[in-house]
Each structure stands twice: as structure tokens, then as C-alpha cells.
Structure 1
Amino acid sequence: MNAYGSPADDALRHHGDAEVRGAGSGLTDLAVNVRSGTPPAWLRERLAASLASLAAYPDSGPARRAVAERHGLAPDQVLLTAGAAEAFVLLARALPARRPVVVHPQFTEPEAALRDAGHRVERVLLRPEDGFGLDAGAVPPEADLVVVGNPTNPTSVLHPAAALARLARPGRTLVVDEAFVDAVPGERESLVPLLGQLPGRTVVLRSLTKTWGLAGLRVGYVLSDPQTVRTLAHQQPLWPVSAPALVAAQVCSTPDALEEAQAAARQFAADRDHLRKQLAQLHTAGLSEATPTPEGPFLLVGHPHAAALRDRLRALGFAVRRGDTFPGLGPEWFRMAVRDRATTDRFTAALHRALETLDTPHAPSGR
């Protein structure tokens, strides 16, 4: 299904942190998809040590080389950015696009950045009845820039790399947002191994925010061909990434850090299974999962009265992320981050109480 977004749609700028901002210390945060207990102590120590060198201008060379080695690429295929969000802005400003398409539901910043750059954005809306799986045939052949998330926020769908590869074609820029792929064991279905092998231009975006708890530091990177990296870099100001952020990019690319990230990904998978088992006991209360096989560190859940449920959960001390600000979703959806089992048990107990207090009768969700 195709649809054009309205430039007046302020919902694109709503993010999970708004659900907990100013809420006080008593609210358990399941609205933001950042791994709890991060950044780890060793990373905080490295960041603290980097403050001694703040008098010097940042040198991105060591970090670029570390990231390149981590992915088996050349340094000139890496562009470090102030978070993945900056990369979306650079892409919107630097690359020509007569017919840009964003595959939704997904993270809304790519579309917002394209609109801000003056583009008229076309949406391809994946269908809940298909489990929000990717239909490459739904993307117009004339689209010359296509953006898709993998695994996709908020649906937790991990699209097969082969399906993503079918979106590549001469004259098209394919942008794959892999901000959460390091939370997938083995980084399965990443498009990085196919860089340089697909027709057209391929751009992969990564973020250190989610696994390492660095949302406040702002660090991510672009992986692509050298010419695309140079084109995007020309849109950046001088020294766009701070020295501490460069240190983070470098040390989070070491073998020890990658091993820790994979251990965290395996733990996410186990904790997600526990959460799903708990939620399955509530299906008769009208609750349903959006995705048959979720692979991200979060779940999208539907209920006919999700907005009322969110309010009741908030009163019980839990914040979840509303779903209706994502194009293609309505008020019957909300997203929750995967947490440890103890937190999940407390949350699902609160969810059970919230469901019991709903005044309106439960009904099938229609998915």
C-alpha cells in the first residue's frame, strides 16, 4: 500500500523518550529501546579517560579504521556520524532523489529528514495481516531512494537479506537502517556482507546507542562505497563527532566488545522468549503480538483499547511506547522494550491488573 505523508504530521518527531521525560524516578522505562545497565563500567572508564584530551581537535582516523576492520571494509567506506539520526539528515541533503520511498512502519526520522530537505516522501505501508513482512514488489520500480529498517523498529521484524537485496537496482539508493542488528545473535540478515555486490548504491547505517547505552553521546556510522561516503562527508561540519564519541566507536569495535555485544544479543533473545510466554497467557484478554517471529530487543503489541492500557500501566509505574505515531499503525498498538526476567514479571503482573480494570469489553483486534 502506498501513501504520501502530510508535511504537517508532527507525530514523526515523537520518540520513546517523551514517554518517560519528567516522569520521576519511580517509572520503569519500557518505552526506550536502550539496553538496561549500560554503558558498562569499562566503557565509562574509557570515556572518562578521553576527557583528558579534550583540548585537542578530534581525530577520526583511529575510530574509522577500527570500525572498518570490525566489518571487513576499507576505512574509506566508513563515515562516523553524530548518531544514526545525523546520517539520515546527510542522506536527505546530499543524495539526489526524485521519488524517495520509506517503508513503514519504521523509525520515523528518515522520513522527517527527507521532508525537512524538501522531498515529497512516498510511503509503502507493510500490512499487519502479513506480520509486517517485507513485500519488495510493493515498492514502486521508479523509486530512486528506498529506506527500510532491519530489524525494524517498532515491529521487531527481521527481513531476510535476500529480500532486501531484491530492492537494489541501478539508479536507486537502498538505505538499510541496522541500528538494532547488533542485538540479533550473529547479526543475521545484515546487508553489510553484500556491500559492493548489489546494483545501484547501498548504504547501511549503524548505531552504538542501543547496545551500549550511548544515546546522550551521539555516535553512529555509515557504511557504503567510498564515493558515497565522500559525498555525505561534504555535508558535515568540521569535526562533527566528538573525541569521546570517537573513543566509543573505536573501543566498541574491538573483539572483546563484540563478544560482549553478542552475549547481550543472546540474553535479549532469552529474555524476549520469557516476555512472549508471559504475554501469551494474556491473549484471551484481547492482547496480541504483531510479529510471529520477533527478532529485535522490543515487541509490538496490539489491543483494541491500547491507549487506555498505556494510561493504566503508567499509573502502575510502567511506561510503554505508543504506536500510533508510526505511519501504518493506529491507536491499538504499543511497543515495549525487552528487559530482564524480574522486570518482565513485574510488568506482566501490572499488565494483568491493567487489563482487569478496563471498563470496555474486550474484542478481537482484527489482525
Structure 2
Amino acid sequence: MLERYGHGGDLLTAQETFGLPKEHFTDFSSNMNPLGPPACVREIVAEGWKDIHKYPDPAVRALRGKLAHKYGVDPESILVGNGAAELIDLIVRVLKPERTGLARPSFSEYEEAVHKTDGKLLNIPLLAGNGFALAESELDRVMSHTDLLFLGHPNNPTGRLIAGDVLDMLLRSKRRLVLDEAFMDFIEDEQSHSMLPLASQSRDLIVIRSMTKFYSIPGIRLGFMVAHPELIREARRLQVQWSVNDLAQRIGCAVLEDTPFEEASRRWLREEKPWLSAQLGSLGLEVVPSDVNFLLFSFPKATGMTAANAQQLLGQQGILLRDASHFEGLDERYCRVAVRLRADNEKLVAALTMILDAFPVSGGRGGVHHEA
């Protein structure tokens, strides 16, 4: 199982599992922007070693200033962290919720953070029949029993934004709400959907953002949180000192100014996501509509194929996908794949075609025919 440690992108486990060098894998299991990292990252890494003997800025002032300018918020409402994962864990330790409402399926880090503080979980099911959209009726059922809602916006692994009317209802409720906007950068009209500016003024809303996905720097670890300054001060008090290293701070400042990279990334996704979604659909796969840079799909029952089967068969060819059955609320037929560049996406489609045609189906061995 590639998700030995709960996430995609584990190339060492892939190497141990399939016996191929890490460099030989085409990784669809990790949702990184294939256009990145931006060129400025290489330059900073090449020169940054000269200052490694110095401590990083413990207050991350330069990067907080850049973020404040970009998003139009007070720098005192921003806390930068060692990736969004640190901030997810940190905000739950600050709030100490007794009962947290989680949409399912969703990112496993939310649940793990709540369990570390001995909190209880209430499930808000995202239903396949509703396109995995967050339904107001399901929220109504649990909201009065929770003191925190922790939701992905867009959600991982479904790729769905929370609808505007549902967001409005959540904000009107005055319930404490954490929105994980780790993939919001990939949204074409981000400003129309992000709740980040509102979070800096609200005592009920916290927004967490990742910089690793869009700028493709997961090895650096960088994210930030926006909330009311009083809450930010409390979170900073609990944060490990020098959590964000000097290279990460410099890289964060530089990539925020790379407007051409942002524009190129959105052009790529605008073209490539619908192409890949259509190709997967043409194979008979059930593809969930996505607002971001990854696609959740399931194999029809008639094929007999499971995500574990597909992961094993494709892994032997050097192609990695995410077995999404490990997300609570999804069964053994669900996979998640990142949208990559056209040549890689064509490679994925060809490999899926091959394994579907060759895989045994119910009623005996045989191929599943797909129209060309």
C-alpha cells in the first residue's frame, strides 16, 4: 500500500514496493502543480546556503508583509507555518473543540488533529448522488451539536468548492469555522470564492492556506493562516520557535511576486483538466466534477477493478495514483489523480486503457471493450 503514512507522493515507499528508482515514477498521487517550482526557487536555493549559519526571522515579517499586501489583510492577522499541516494541528490545539464536525470524505489531518486533543467527531456525509457537494441539510443535522466545523474549501479528495449559499449559511450561524483553502490558488476567480479577507476581521472564521501545492514546493513546507489578530497571537504563543526556516521565508516572498507563473498555471489547468476528465470518462470511469487540479473517479462495478488493483498494476509501469478508498466515505473503487502535463496525462490514459482491457471481469476472464 503506497499510503503507508497516510498521504500520496511517497516515492520511497513506491521504490520499495515496485523496485523502480524514484526518478522513474510519474506521480499522479500528489497534487502538485507540474509547472513548478517557479524559476526563482532555484535561484534562492542556489544562493541561500550563504546565510544558513544565521537564524531565520522568528516573526516571518517579510513574508507576512507580502501576504498582507497580496490579500489585503492586516499582517497581525497572519501566522506563517511549516506547511498547512502544522497550522491544522496548531489551530485545533488553540481552540480545543469538544465536538468537531467534519465532512467525509476529507483530508485525514483534520481528524488526526482532533484526536490528538481527545475531541469527538461528528460526520457530515458528502454523498456521491449529490456529486459530493456539501449539502445544507446535512450541515443542519450536526451544527447544533458541534463547537467547531472543519471543512475543505475546495475539499480534498473530491475537489469541490463549498457552494456560496452554504457558505453564507455557515457564516450567519456564528459557529466557529475553519476553512482549509489549500487548493484555492488553482481557482480561476479565486477572489470570488475565498473567505480569507473576511477571516482577518472575524472571531468565528479561520482560513488556512498552503503554498506547497500551487508553487510545487512540498519539500520546503510552507503555509499560512488568517484569523482575528487575538487568535493569531494565541496560536503564535503555542507555535514552535523558528518553525519556518530561512529558505522557506525567502521562497515564499519570491513566488508571491511571480505573476506570470500564476497566469501560466491557470492557463494550463483551464485546458488540461477538462481534457483529462473527458478522457477518463470515455473509458467508462465515473469522474467527479472538480474545481481544482485533481480528479476523483471510480471504476464501474462491472469491471471488477478496485483502486488497490489499479495502483498495483500501474505502479509496476511506473505510474502512481492515490487509492482513495482510504478516505472515510469512499469505497474500494475510488482513485484520485492529479492533473499533470499533457504527455503525462496521455501516459495515464493509455495505461488505464490497457489494464481495463486486460483485467478480469465478473463472469470470467475477459476484457472490457471501450470505443476508440
By the TM > 0.5 criterion, same fold? yes
Go from structure 1 to structure 2 and tell me whether the alpha carbon gap of 1:49 and 1:162 turns closer, same or farther (over 3 Å shift): farther
Q: Is the 8 A contact 2:152 2:180 kept in 1?
A: yes
Q: Is the 8 A contact 2:35 2:265 kept in 1?
A: no
Distance 2:335 2:138 in 1: 25
| Counterpart AA for 1:27 | F
| Counterpart AA for 1:174 | L
Name whichever of 62-71 and 182-191 sits farther off. Answer: 182-191
Q: Which residues of 2 match residues 55-94 of structure 1 at below 5 A?
A: 55-59=53-57, 60-94=60-94
Is the partner of 2:158 in helix, strand or coil? coil
Go from structure 1 to structure 2 and tell me whether the alpha carbon gap of 1:106 and 1:82 turns closer, same or farther (over 3 Å shift): same
| Other-structure match for 2:195 | 191
Q: Is the 8 A contact 1:76 1:229 kept in 2?
A: yes
- Does residue 351 of the first structure (1) align with residue 357 of the second (2)? no
| Counterpart AA for 1:172 | R
TM-score by length of 1: 0.88
Residue 22 of structure 1 and its aligned partner are, at CA, apart by 4.0
| Counterpart AA for 2:298 | G
Q: Which residues of 2 match residues 129-168 of structure 1 at below 5 A?
A: 129-139=129-139, 140-142=142-144, 143-168=146-171
| Other-structure match for 1:296 | 292
Aligned residue pairs: how many?
345
Q: Which residues of 2 match residues 107-256 of structure 1 at below 5 A?
A: 107-139=107-139, 140-142=142-144, 143-169=146-172, 172-187=175-190, 188-195=192-199, 200-254=203-257
Residue 328 of structure 1 and its aligned partner are, at CA, apart by 0.9
Q: Which residues of 2 match residues 6-25 of structure 1 at below 5 A?
A: 13-18=5-10, 21-23=13-15, 24=21, 25=23
| Counterpart AA for 2:160 | V
Q: Is the 8 A contact 1:81 1:219 kept in 2?
A: yes
Residue 323 of structure 1 and its aligned partner are, at CA, apart by 0.7
Residue 315 of structure 1 and its aligned partner are, at CA, apart by 2.4
| Counterpart AA for 1:230 | R
Name whichever of 152-161 and 342-351 sits farther off. Answer: 152-161
| Counterpart AA for 2:199 | L
| Counterpart AA for 2:47 | A
Q: Is the 8 A contact 1:301 1:335 kept in 2?
A: yes
Q: Is the 8 A contact 2:200 2:229 kept in 1?
A: no
| Other-structure match for 1:34 | 32
Q: Is the 8 A contact 1:13 1:112 kept in 2?
A: no
Residue 39 of structure 1 and its aligned partner are, at CA, apart by 1.5
Q: Which residues of 2 match residues 276-315 of structure 1 at below 5 A?
A: 276-283=277-284, 287-291=285-289, 294-303=290-299, 304=301, 305-306=305-306, 307-315=308-316
Structure 1 unaligned regions, length at least 5: 1-10
Percent sequence identity over aligned pairs: 29
Distance 2:167 2:133 in 1: 11
Residue 266 of structure 1 and its aligned partner are, at CA, apart by 2.6
Q: Is the 8 A contact 1:171 1:201 kept in 2?
A: yes
| Other-structure match for 1:3 | none
| Counterpart AA for 1:114 | V
CA RMSD of aligned residues (A): 2.1
Q: Is the 8 A contact 2:83 2:224 kept in 1?
A: yes
| Counterpart AA for 1:94 | V
